[in-house]
Chain A
Amino acid sequence: MLAAERTPMKSARWLVPLLACAAVLLIAIAGNPRARPSGPEPKILRIAMNTGDLPTTTGAPTQGLEGMRFAGYPVFEPLVMWDLRVTDRPPGVIPWLATDWAVDPADHNRWIFHLRRGVTFHDGAPFDADVVVWNFRRFFDPKAPQYEASAAAVAKARASVLKGWEKIDDHTVAITTTTPTSYFPEILTSVLLVSPARWREAGGDWHEFARRPAGTGAFRVEAVDRTVIRLRRNPHYWNTARSAKLDGIDLYAMAEPTTRIAALRSGEVDWVENPPADAIPFLKRNGYQVVTSPMPHVWAYFLRVTPDSPFHDVRVRQAINYAMDRQGIVTLLNGAAQPAKSFWKPGDVRYGHPVNDYRYDPATSLRLLRDAGYPHGLPTPVKVLTAPVASGQMLSLPMNELLQQSARKAGFKLEFVVVEGNQMSALYNNPKSPKMAAVYAVNKGYNTGEMTYLYFWLYPPNLAAYEDPVAKRMMDAYRVNFDPTKETAILATLHERLVDDAPMAWVVHDVNPRAFSPNVRGYTPAQSWYTDLTTVDLAR
């Protein structure tokens, strides 16, 4: 009886708080959560990086070159720097924390750098030769208290020719190499300098330092948590000609392309790296800016030239270069790429005059194969090692499927060994692995902006077993040439040789698409992996 009488009341008692909660939730959701107080707002650019995690803020950023782009150069600076305001040609190396430098005429392994005076770190500590020496010990001296193994690993890989360093006076340092290396200043662009005083203040702990780091850059790190790095303008920046226009930048890591696009479309960020190709037409139609910069990144096949490989014969290597439908790939990517005939582009002063002008030409490919003794095309399939997701891989699976079709008409049957990115690295580092049997090509993105990488790939011994005495002689000549007037001529000759000797099948140049909200201004499309964020502004 009682239960029957109390049931409606019980229901009502449950219902009231339930409805109240629902009402509060609806009001909260329907209200504008992004409403901001009136008055001038700081101009904070919000960037969605194409990285899985936030780069470290220790001056040795993780997350590859993208980490360097956003959490490296804007905060920490090297002795010499890429000139990222040049857009009509690949950037050269310009004075930065060093005002000038020269190789010792008597010893080409010794470089002298004169340091800029009056530069201070974000913590107010002065920049001088002791700081430079301390920073080099951080990366290259395992006995130094500031030695950081994880940062050292990357630094050593990039600057493998570095041998030693010495303070000459408060504003001059000498750096030595193991072998004469004319492009050594390029290598030094990757060694960023941090404040030793701040590191000591952090108790000599790099993890603590990362929470409140100090560099000399146009932006300082205001806060770091697990989801965002907040950079704010450095009001005391030494390079007044390149002071930041923005008040700050918030960096978010978003590895998933749909997440980046979702964040842009819902107004959570203003800038996304590498929007997926199929989203580009939609973004353009809806008023977003989609910009490209011809970055030095080639998506290619590295051809293994061991005696058992069909690519041991230069005619087969040239043939596969005529079997690639590059324009088809550009169409597939909605224009977010350019056809690649070689490392560099026609018009580049280093391009030279190679005999071969690679384009999709099945007839030429078949003729070359016939000349090489394959009258009906290559009889055995060519296995290509590739990874769907890895640094520089672009959209490797659909791109390879398209190439598979185009190459078939040109006498090549391509088959793919698809593995995870780390596994790919492990496999091509171990060519004797059973899984590498009959793998004659590795599909991989490649940095053409730094000579170090050219040497890594093509100077013997190298992974592709490529060893052309003519190219090697030219590379030696470039390495020991310290006369800038001869530099271009040597590179052009080397380039001509490499294009015609075809140790790779070049497919496309990446143009690194970026999408911005309509109020982003002042982007400088440098021909580089990096970008100058000091020119960027936000329209109010």
Chain B
Amino acid sequence: MLQFILRRIVQTIPILFGVSLITFALVHLMPGTIADSLVPPGAPAHLRDEINRIYGLDKPLWEQYFLWLKQLLSGNFGISLVTGRPIGDELAAALFNSLKITSIAAVVGFSLGTLFGVLAALNNGRWPDKVFSLLAITGVSVPPFWFAILLVAVFAFTLNWLPAQGMGPEGLPVSWAQWRHMILPIATLSLIPMGVVGRVVRAATLEVLSQEFVTALNAKGLTGPVVREHIARNAAPTVLAVMGLQFGHLIGGSILVETVFNWPGTGKLLNLAIFSGDIPTIQATVLVLSVVFVMLNLAVDAAQAAIDPRMRR
């Protein structure tokens, strides 16, 4: 098992190198530089050149890439061109803020999805299957930003129970003042994972249920928890893979939800950086999100291998 994990860790190194190269290339394919954001239209052209020189954007691309890589390897993400703040600090805070809601949204979404999926599969073709499948399809189909606005309209405008936006006090969520800001974003974010996981769990469970070993187990007189455990172990690898991907999507893909709720996470940071042409922040954010994604996949692989020894080969 340890050998398997070490092998996978070594395999991630070229992946991360490739990610850094693609990230750098894509960011530099974007038209314009920070100078286009900072310099008023029509200002003397030499100012634009001077700003590009100040930020080292006049150097050849390969030189910029290796300077960036060198900086990264020394643990330095650089300074934001727009705010002048260290990007590492900004990114760490944003990632922490995103994790505050995405981790709970993942737990909620995965738990509900699993519950609905299992119940739907165990009641295949009957009304609970139809109800839970409808819930899962709704979760996948409803646009999260629309659902977010709907929740705001109901819980912030009409009932005035929860805040419409913002994060409240910084830090670990230990007070109501923090939790009240988290409820609506978590509800919104958990919708898609609930739907996706629900559908996958249903399909995986039905597939396992149709296999001969389940019939054999039943024929031997085994029922209840023993059979359910066998079903769970056989369905788990597929479900875990989907959960890993979904969690990665939650962290990296919550731009719209973070924008609607004005939540200062990675999605909002990336959005702002793109619109202001803050190249070092875009590069660092995309790279860190990619690393998180790769690490999540590594964790999922390890979990799958732990459950199913065949995966270690």
Show the binding face of A for B, using Cβ within 8 Å.
Answer: 3, 28-30, 33, 52-53, 56, 58, 62, 148-154, 156-158, 160, 206-207, 210, 225-227, 252-256, 258-259, 262-263, 265-268, 389, 420-423, 425-429, 444, 447, 452-453, 456-457, 462-463
Q: Give the most central of A58, A150, A210, A457: most B CB within 10 Å.
A: A150
Q: How far is the CB of B137 from chain A (nearest CB, A)?
A: 26
* Residue contact A422 to B54, C-beta cutoff 8 Å: no
Known: A259-B262, A262-B165. 20 other contacts (CB 8 A): A52-B268, A156-B50, A157-B39, A157-B43, A157-B47, A160-B47, A206-B84, A207-B85, A252-B262, A253-B262, A254-B165, A255-B272, A259-B259, A262-B157, A263-B163, A263-B262, A429-B36, A444-B41, A456-B42, A457-B42
Query: A3-B224, A30-B161, A259-B261 given as contacts; is B83 within 8 A of A457 (CB)?
Result: no
Query: A258-B149, A259-B262 given as contacts; is B164 within 8 A of A423 (CB)?
Result: no
- Chain A CB within 8 A of B71 CB: no
Query: A62-B83, A421-B275, A422-B36 given as contacts; is B44 within 8 A of A160 (CB)?
Result: yes
Q: How far is the CB of A93 from chain B (nearest CB, A)?
A: 19
Which 9 pairs of residues, A with B, have the shortest CB-CB distance? A426-B32, A456-B42, A262-B164, A425-B36, A426-B31, A266-B156, A52-B272, A150-B84, A157-B39
List, in ascending order, chain B residues with CB within 8 A of A153's CB: 34-35, 38-39, 50-51, 54
Q: Give the most central of B164, B180, B259: most A CB within 10 Å.
A: B164
- Chain A CB within 8 A of B303 CB: no
| A252: nearest chain-B partner, CB-CB | B166
Picked from A148, A225, A255, A426, the residue with its CB within 8 Å of the CB of B84 is A148
* Residue contact A227 to B161, C-beta cutoff 8 Å: no
| B224: nearest chain-A partner, CB-CB | A3
Show the binding face of B for A, using Cβ within 8 Å.
Answer: 30-45, 47-48, 50-51, 54-55, 79-86, 93, 97, 149, 152, 156-157, 160-167, 170, 176-177, 180, 224, 259-262, 264, 268, 271-272, 275-277
Q: How far is the CB of A537 from chain B (nearest CB, A)?
A: 24
Q: How far is the CB of A297 from chain B (nearest CB, A)?
A: 13
Q: How many A-B residue pairs have CB under 8 A?
A: 159
Q: What is the bound-complex CA distance between A423 and B167, given in angstroms? A: 31
* Residue contact B271 to A52, C-beta cutoff 8 Å: yes
Picked from A148, A256, A268, A426, the residue with its CB within 8 Å of the CB of B36 is A426
Picked from B31, B39, B262, the residue with its CB within 8 Å of the CB of A254 is B262
| A455: nearest chain-B partner, CB-CB | B42
* Residue contact A268 to B163, C-beta cutoff 8 Å: yes
Q: What is the bound-complex CA distance between A215 and B260, given in angstroms? A: 34
Q: How far is the CB of A490 from chain B (nearest CB, A)?
A: 21
Query: A157-B43, A422-B275, A426-B32 given as contacts; is B81 within 8 A of A150 (CB)?
Result: yes
Picked from B79, B161, B165, the residue with its CB within 8 Å of the CB of A263 is B165
Q: What is the bound-complex CA distance between A156 and B45, given in angstroms? A: 12
Jot down 6 A-B pairs with beta carbons below 8 A, ordered by A. A33-B176, A153-B38, A153-B54, A255-B259, A263-B262, A265-B156
